[in-house]
């Protein structure tokens, strides 16, 4: 997930601070230097880092830090506030037209995942009660129109296309079609290029002049780092974009694009693409992302995912078992199927406060792994499933032989079972303090 490396580096810095009872000017200067290096290694724009450190240093040399009994907490608080400010302070929603249809033009370079994310956005608004229409305005890339029809079919959203005619005419007729058929939001999937050129910008400008575009969204690939930010600056200068969709944030990316985009363009990130599935699209909340970067978790986003994806009946059954202090390997297998709906285990755990993600690199789930887990669990006796603590080496060897796996695979399964048990106990423990957590079996949260 994006920011894992930055998060680990920042938390290592804060861990060293926690051992100090007081901070002096030399300590603060060293901390600022280490934070600066961590941001630069995360591929954050140099000017953005320079300004960030300048603001942070100015606040950090105040008496509040130097006289505090908990300097690490004060520094973390300041970094948290500055990260939020850097990424936009608050979530900026898509503006809808006062008179439908809302027209959203989607642009970006080739390879950013624009067409796939067009369908993800359409699905997001469909869930909000809208009637979206996808319009195929990319007449250059081979199979672009077919791809839009394919992803549109996956999310059951209509696609308007007229073949390889002038994109301006396609946009005009798509809007007319939407008005005639009651579609209240139109997504214009515009052509991309391998690089920015004058022809691309002229075409996008012509479409904006021909139809009343409500918002222009730019798609940038988080994997490309500062190249993505440079592209964003160029698109914004030519088109005056309204927002950014950052794609592929689930990959091995350093996160610099997200931290630089607003500062360089002045335009907010509005959505994050977090995986390959059509449901893997998140509204971008700067304060939540800042909390995740600093290891504070993002429980609110986890709640929203749970509400949208989990089976309430199964969640209620799990809650009853947890209240009875029963969580077995059979329950574990059931929950793997449920949790998989929320994304990878690593992604979920990254939203939990206090979880060390550097220790969770192997906590990824896919269909093959779940099938292997099922085979291992089904090779156990009912007693072993109910009481996994009785699985000594000899029993593990028998289980491994029964399913054609190695003892190491059995140990890995038991480790993952233990991780989930702790996570669920954490939720369950929260239940004594506050309101219910919808979608996770009525678990309660302390707010």
**Strand 269-273 relative to strand 281-283, pairing:** antiparallel
Average pLDDT on 330-354 reads 66
Radius of gyration of the chain (CA): 25
Domains annotated for the chain, with CATH where assigned, are 4-87 (1.20.120.140), 102-293 (3.40.50.300), 299-445 (1.10.260.30)
Please enumerate in sequence order all residues whose Cβ is within 8 A of that of 166, keeping only pairs 6 or more positions apart, or say none.
Answer: none
Burial class (CB in 10 A: 0-12, 13-18, 19+), 136: buried
Question: At 366, which helix (H) or strand (E)?
Answer: none
**Strand 243-247 relative to strand 269-273, pairing:** parallel
Average pLDDT on 220-249 reads 85
Please enumerate in sequence order all residues whose Cβ is within 8 A of that of 309, keeping only pairs 6 or more positions apart, or say none.
Answer: 279, 341, 342, 439
Question: Distance between CA 287 and CA 282 in Å, rounded?
Answer: 14
Question: Distance between CA 191 and CA 188 in Å, rounded?
Answer: 10
pLDDT one-digit tens code per residue, 62-78: 655 555 557 777 788 88
What's the mean pLDDT when you consider all of the chain? 81
Q: Is the pLDDT of residue 127 over 50?
A: yes
User: Which residue has 């609110």 as its token pair?
Assistant: 300
Lowest mean pLDDT among 181-195, 235-249, 417-431: 417-431
Q: What confidence category does residue 98 fall into, taking pLDDT thresholds of 50, 70 and 90?
A: very high
Q: Is the pLDDT of residue 141 over 70?
A: yes
Provide the total of helices (H) and of strands (E) in the chain, helices listed first: 20, 10
pLDDT one-digit tens code per residue, 390-432: 999 999 999 999 999 999 999 999 988 888 777 766 655 554 4
């Amino acid at each position: 997930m994006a920011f894992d490396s930055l998060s680990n580096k920042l938390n290592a810095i804060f861990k060293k601070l926690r051992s100090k009872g007081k901070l002096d000017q030399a300590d603060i200067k060293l901390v600022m230097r280490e934070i600066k290096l961590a941001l630069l290694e995360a591929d954050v724009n140099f000017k953005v880092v320079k300004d960030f450190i300048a603001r942070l240093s100015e606040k950090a040399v105040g008496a509040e830090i130097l006289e505090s009994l908990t300097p690490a907490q004060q520094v973390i608080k300041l970094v948290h506030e500055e990260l939020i400010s850097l990424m936009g302070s608050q979530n900026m929603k898509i503006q809808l037209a006062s008179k439908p249809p809302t027209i959203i033009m989607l642009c970006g370079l080739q390879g950013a995942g624009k067409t796939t994310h067009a369908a993800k956005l359409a699905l997001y608004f469909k869930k909000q009660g809208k009637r979206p229409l996808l319009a195929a305005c990319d007449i250059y890339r081979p199979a672009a129109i077919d791809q839009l029809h394919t992803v549109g079919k996956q999310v059951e959203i209509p696609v308007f296309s007229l073949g390889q005619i002038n994109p301006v005419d396609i946009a005009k007729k798509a809007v007319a079609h939407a008005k005639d058929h009651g579609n209240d939001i139109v997504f214009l999937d515009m052509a991309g290029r391998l690089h920015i050129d004058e022809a691309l910008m002229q075409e996008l400008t012509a479409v904006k002049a021909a139809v009343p575009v409500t918002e222009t969204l730019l798609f940038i690939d988080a994997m490309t780092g500062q190249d993505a930010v440079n592209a964003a600056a160029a698109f914004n200068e030519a088109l005056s974009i309204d927002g950014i969709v950052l794609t592929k944030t689930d990959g091995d990316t350093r996160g610099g694009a997200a931290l630089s985009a607003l500062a360089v363009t002045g335009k907010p990130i509005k959505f994050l693409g977090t995986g390959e599935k059509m449901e893997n699209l998140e509204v971008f909340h700067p304060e939540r992302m800042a909390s995740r970067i600093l290891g504070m978790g993002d429980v609110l986003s986890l709640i929203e995912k749970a509400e949208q994806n989990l089976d309430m009946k199964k969640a209620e059954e799990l809650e009853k078992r947890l209240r009875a202090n029963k969580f077995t390997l059979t329950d574990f297998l059931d929950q793997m199927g449920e949790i998989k709906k929320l994304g990878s285990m690593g992604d979920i755990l990254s939203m939990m406060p206090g979880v060390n993600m550097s220790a969770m690199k192997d906590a990824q789930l896919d269909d093959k792994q779940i099938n292997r887990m099922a085979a291992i669990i089904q090779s156990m006796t009912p007693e072993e499933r109910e009481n996994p603590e009785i699985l000594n080496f000899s029993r593990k060897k028998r289980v491994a032989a029964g399913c054609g796996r190695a003892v190491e695979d059995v140990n890995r399964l038991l480790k993952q079972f233990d991780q989930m048990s702790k996570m669920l106990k954490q939720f369950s423990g929260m239940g004594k303090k506050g309101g219910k957590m919808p979608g996770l079996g009525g678990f309660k949260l302390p707010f």
